[in-house]
């Protein structure tokens, strides 16, 4: 299983990097939309949408909303969208803390899921199309997410004792979360020093952004885990051998992308 996971992960990273640096920006956005649409199909299962008509409506809603966001060109309106996206994840954080029954707030679960998918695709697309060196900024975001995830896993296995969210994801620990933040602090300080050298203000901003993104990424992971636990499934799908579905791989990105792009747009663009 471990070897299968490594092989699949290596292929995914290679495809991602090829698309990020070799495809024209608009083609990369189309690739993102395709990934988002496949994720939306998986999300219908996690939202317990069983009818074919309901599944089609959900996926079409994601596509229409994502395209509508993509067409926004007004800078102030774009910032407003990111603020709404961050507020959406704060609502999701409240859901994670209160553990509402799925049937009691089913419409809320469905709405938040389609919004989170659309906001994430929009955020990454906006980085690619409107920010200088957008591909490198995107790579930086995923680097933070991947490093934080790996650090949480290994420090959690070695030092984990207290559960972070036992009713949602028993494998996550407070020690793992703290370990991920410590590693991200070291990574962001080192990378920021290399990138901006004596610009201490930019280095500090970069460190703070990376820490916030690492913390937010956990919310996305827990939200998808909560949906899986509610409907009683282990994985969102079976498309990726050793990893499950697409949502199992991008869950952290859903929450991290909007806050990361908002910060980059305000402080670095």
Q: Which domain range does residue 113 map to?
A: 2-267
What is the three-class DSSP state of 174?
Answer: helix
pLDDT of residue 84: 93
User: 118: Cβ–Cβ under 8 A, 6 or more apart, which residues?
Assistant: 36, 62, 65, 66, 69
Sign of CA dihedral 241, 245, 50, 46: positive
How far, in Å, CA of 140 to CA of 188, rounded?
Answer: 10
Q: What ranges in 23-133 are assigned the alpha helix state H?
A: 25-46, 52-70, 75-98, 106-130
pLDDT of residue 243: 65
Which residues make beta-bridge pairs with 173?
163
pLDDT tens string, the chain, 269 residues long: the values are: 556 767 777 888 888 899 999 999 999 999 999 999 999 999 998 888 888 998 999 999 999 999 899 888 788 889 899 999 999 999 898 888 886 555 556 778 888 999 999 999 999 999 999 889 999 999 999 999 999 999 998 898 888 788 988 888 888 899 999 999 999 999 999 999 999 988 899 999 999 999 999 999 999 999 998 888 888 888 887 876 666 788 888 999 999 999 999 999 999 87
Sign of CA dihedral 180, 90, 210, 43: positive
pLDDT of residue 138: 96
How far, in Å, CA of 186 to CA of 188, rounded?
Answer: 6
Contact 123, 85 (CB under 8 A): yes
**8-state DSSP, 151:** H
pTM score of the predicted model? 0.92
Q: Rg of the chain over CA atoms, in angstroms?
A: 18
pLDDT of residue 151: 93
The count of structural domains within the chain is: 1
Contact 216, 228 (CB under 8 A): no
What is the three-class DSSP state of 164?
Answer: strand
Which residues make beta-bridge pairs with 163?
173
């Amino acid at each position: 299983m471990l070897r299968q996971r490594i092989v699949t992960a290596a292929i995914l990273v290679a495809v991602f990097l090829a698309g990020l640096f070799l495809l024209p920006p608009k083609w990369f956005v189309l690739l993102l939309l395709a990934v988002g649409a496949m994720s939306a199909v998986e999300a219908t299962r996690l939202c317990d949408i069983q009818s074919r008509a309901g599944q089609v409506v959900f996926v079409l809603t994601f596509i229409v909303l994502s395209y509508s966001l993509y067409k926004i060109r007004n800078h102030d309106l774009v910032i407003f969208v990111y603020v709404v996206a961050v507020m959406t994840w704060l609502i999701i954080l409240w859901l994670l803390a209160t553990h509402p029954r799925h049937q009691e707030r089913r419409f809320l679960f469905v709405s938040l899921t389609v919004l989170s998918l659309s906001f994430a695709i929009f955020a990454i697309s906006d980085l690619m199309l409107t920010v200088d060196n957008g591909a490198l900024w995107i790579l930086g975001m995923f680097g933070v997410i991947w490093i934080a995830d790996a650090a949480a896993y290994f420090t959690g296995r070695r030092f984990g004792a207290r559960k972070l969210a036992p009713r949602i994801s028993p494998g996550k620990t407070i020690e793992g979360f703290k370990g991920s933040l410590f590693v991200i602090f070291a990574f962001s300080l080192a990378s920021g020093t290399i990138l901006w050298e004596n610009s201490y203000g930019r280095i500090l901003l970069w460190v703070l952004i990376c820490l916030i993104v690492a913390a937010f990424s956990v919310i996305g992971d827990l939200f998808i885990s909560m949906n899986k636990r509610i409907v009683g499934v282990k994985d969102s799908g079976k498309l990726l051998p050793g990893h499950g579905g697409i949502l199992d791989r991008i869950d952290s990105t859903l929450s991290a992308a909007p806050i990361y792009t908002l910060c980059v747009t305000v402080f670095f663009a």
